[in-house]
Amino acid sequence: MICERCPSLWASRTRIVETDLPDFGRPCRILAIGEAPGTDEDAQGRGFVGRAGRGLHNLLKQHGLRRGYDYGCANIVRCRPPDNRKPSAEERANCLPHLAETILMAKPDALLLVGNTAAQTFLGGGSFGAILRHRRPIRPSGTGAGSLRWRAARNHRHPHAPHQSAGLEPQSRKRRVLERGWPGAD
């Protein structure tokens, strides 16, 4: 894929980081969506291979989920922003058609939004903390196949972000949700 829509991104990237979906067109149980590729992802051309990505994979593996079989990975933008900055609104808008196509191909049961940028892109403005107070993940709500209408279900913080939940360690909170399921999920 060749893309030059965002001059600051394509000038500084090593490669476009493509999405990583289950093999053979199998639908995803979960599609993890992050902000943008980091240094490791840019070098390898594969998403979620850095320290935070490995932590996410280990957590999902502990609960019997396998990358490339049960879940896939994508980012809001596919090119690493220079100096590890947040992608601009224009950069996010330029990549959203690619992400929408990925979601349609993956047919996930749920989206796991990793970080503030992913949460704000799907749920609108506001801080990630305010979004967390709603305590709801993203699940498909459309009636037809390929619908891109989503309803909120529950979001979780980035594994390396400062933790502010009283009495719960970051990993124990995620384990509790994975073991019990999302409240209100059908």
**pLDDT tens-digit series, residues 24-35:** 878 889 999 999
Q: How far apart are CA 34 and CA 97, in angstroms?
A: 16
pLDDT for the residue numbered 175: 53
C-alpha distances in Å from residue 97, one per residue of 56, 103, 148: 25, 10, 11
pLDDT for the residue numbered 138: 43
The yes-or-no verdict on residue 159 having pLDDT over 50 is yes
Q: pTM, whole model, 2 decimals? A: 0.69
C-alpha distances in Å from residue 102, one per residue of 15, 59, 159: 18, 23, 24
Quick check: helix, strand or coil at residue 110?
strand
Inter-axis angle of helices 51-62 and 170-180, to 10 degrees?
40
Domain boundaries, the chain: 19-180
Widest pairwise Cα distance in the chain: 47
Tell me the pLDDT of the chain averaged across its residues.
Answer: 76
pLDDT for the residue numbered 176: 52
What's domain 19-180's architecture?
Answer: 3-Layer(aba) Sandwich (3.40)
pLDDT digits (tens, 9 = 90+) for 99-117: 999 998 898 988 999 988 8
Distance of CA 174 to the CA centre of its chain: 15
Bridge-based pairing state of the strands 150-151 and 71-75: unpaired
